[in-house]
């Protein structure tokens, strides 16, 4: 909350520096008039692919100044190949996706606008099968395919700031926004998705996996795993839950969606290559799965 207040304060100042062309101002006015309320405005995305990619590239530069990328060529190649296979079967395959591995034990993954995907090493380590991992990557591709990041940014920064950033008319303004957003936490906070966006990304992931030949059940299984870890050790997945709250509802939604799809033979659940890749990753210092005492039938005690 404090962070958002800071951003709002900074942007209020920034907006005074922006000189809007009349055309831009009238577009803003038209949109506001047409929507009549904030909710319709939230789903507006007027960015072209090129604009969105330019924004994503700028954010990716900032992110990569802060995080350490995992560079084991076999792991990097594997994740890219798995991701690109999914991309080819996604609803937005006309842009280039850059899929990278972040060298951290933390279980998380995120997507920036324009096709910049980051999968943490820790998440690969806790995925039980290739289809679980594909489910997470498919979910992030879903955010890009549905332009959730671009919409979130437009909602948070305002149309005029976004247009100022894209047009390059106000490089000082861009640098100001960039400095306010500096850091992974700031950027992810700006890209916070609504529950509706999460549901949409889940649904896209299910279809994407199936189209690409992977068992879409991996999406559901991974959510169940996250819920189980969170029940057993609340806070263990704090950073993941901050941006992607797993819930029983998401498990049920994806389960129902899969059940309603016609059966398909030969879908891939796991692969030898996935197991090899997992084996060559360094062990997690505090593996959230290792504290599991019993088999998966064990019902965790919920604390309220």
Residues making contact with Zn ion (CB under 5 A): 198, 201, 244
Residue with smaller CB distance to Zn ion, 225 or 244: 244
Q: Residue 102, Cα to own-chain centre: how many angstroms?
A: 14
Residue with smaller CB distance to Zn ion, 139 or 278: 139
Residue position matching structure tokens 């034990």: 105
Residue with smaller CB distance to Zn ion, 151 or 244: 244
Residue position matching structure tokens 């076999």: 74
Structural tokens at position 165 = 């950033």
Residue position matching structure tokens 């324009």: 114
CB 182 within 8 A of CB 62: yes
109, β-bridge pairs: 119
Report the alpha-carbon distance of residue 189 to residue 229 in Å, rounded.
Answer: 23
Residue with smaller CB distance to Zn ion, 243 or 269: 243
> Minimum CB separation from Zn ion for residue 143, in Å?
5
Residue with smaller CB distance to Zn ion, 18 or 63: 63
> Minimum CB separation from Zn ion for residue 281, in Å?
23
Report the alpha-carbon distance of residue 63 to residue 77 in Å, rounded.
Answer: 21
> Minimum CB separation from Zn ion for residue 34, in Å?
28
Dihedral class, residue 107 (left if φ above 0, else alpha if ψ from -120 to 50, else beta): beta
Residue with smaller CB distance to Zn ion, 117 or 159: 117
CA atoms within 13 A on the CB side of 33: 6
> Minimum CB separation from Zn ion for residue 284, in Å?
22
Burial of 144 (0-12, 13-18, 19+ CB in 10 A): buried
> Minimum CB separation from Zn ion for residue 42, in Å?
16
> Minimum CB separation from Zn ion for residue 110, in Å?
8
Residue with smaller CB distance to Zn ion, 100 or 244: 244
Report the alpha-carbon distance of residue 164 to residue 27 in Å, rounded.
Answer: 13
Residue nearest to Zn ion as judged by C-beta position: 244
Residue position matching structure tokens 């879908």: 267
Structural tokens at position 41 = 């405005």
Residue with smaller CB distance to Zn ion, 151 or 176: 151
CB 64 within 8 A of CB 187: no
Structural tokens at position 5 = 């207040």
Q: What is the DSSP letter of 70?
A: P
> Minimum CB separation from Zn ion for residue 265, in Å?
30
> Minimum CB separation from Zn ion for residue 180, in Å?
23
């Amino acid at each position: 909350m404090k962070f958002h207040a800071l951003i709002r304060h900074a942007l209020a100042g920034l907006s005074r520096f922006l000189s809007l062309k009349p055309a831009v101002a009238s577009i803003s006015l038209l949109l506001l008039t047409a929507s009549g309320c904030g909710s319709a405005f939230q789903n507006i995305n007027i960015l072209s692919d090129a604009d969105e990619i330019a924004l994503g590239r700028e954010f990716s530069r900032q992110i990569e100044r802060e995080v350490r990328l995992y560079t084991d060529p076999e792991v990097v190649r594997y994740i890219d190949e798995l991701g690109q296979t999914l991309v080819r079967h996604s609803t937005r395959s006309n842009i280039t996706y850059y899929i990278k591995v972040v060298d951290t034990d933390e279980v998380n993954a995120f997507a920036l606008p324009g096709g910049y995907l980051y999968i943490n090493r820790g998440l690969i380590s806790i995925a039980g099968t290739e289809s679980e991992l594909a489910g997470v990557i498919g979910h992030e591709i879903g955010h890009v395919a549905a332009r959730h990041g671009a919409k979130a940014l437009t909602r948070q920064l305002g149309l005029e700031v976004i247009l100022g950033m894209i047009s390059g008319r106000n490089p000082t303004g861009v640098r100001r926004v960039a400095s306010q957003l500096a850091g992974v936490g700031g950027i992810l906070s700006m890209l916070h998705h609504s529950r509706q966006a999460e549901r949409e990304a889940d649904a896209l992931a299910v279809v994407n996996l199936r189209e690409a030949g992977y068992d879409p059940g991996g999406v559901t299984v991974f959510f169940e795993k996250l819920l189980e870890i969170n029940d057993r050790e609340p806070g263990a997945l704090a950073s993941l839950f901050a941006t992607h709250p797993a819930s029983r509802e998401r498990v049920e939604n994806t389960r129902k969606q899969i059940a309603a799809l016609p059966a398909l033979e030969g879908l891939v659940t796991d692969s030898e290559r996935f197991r090899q890749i997992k084996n060559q990753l360094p062990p997690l210092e505090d593996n959230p799965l290792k504290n599991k005492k019993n088999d998966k039938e064990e019902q965790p005690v919920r604390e309220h």
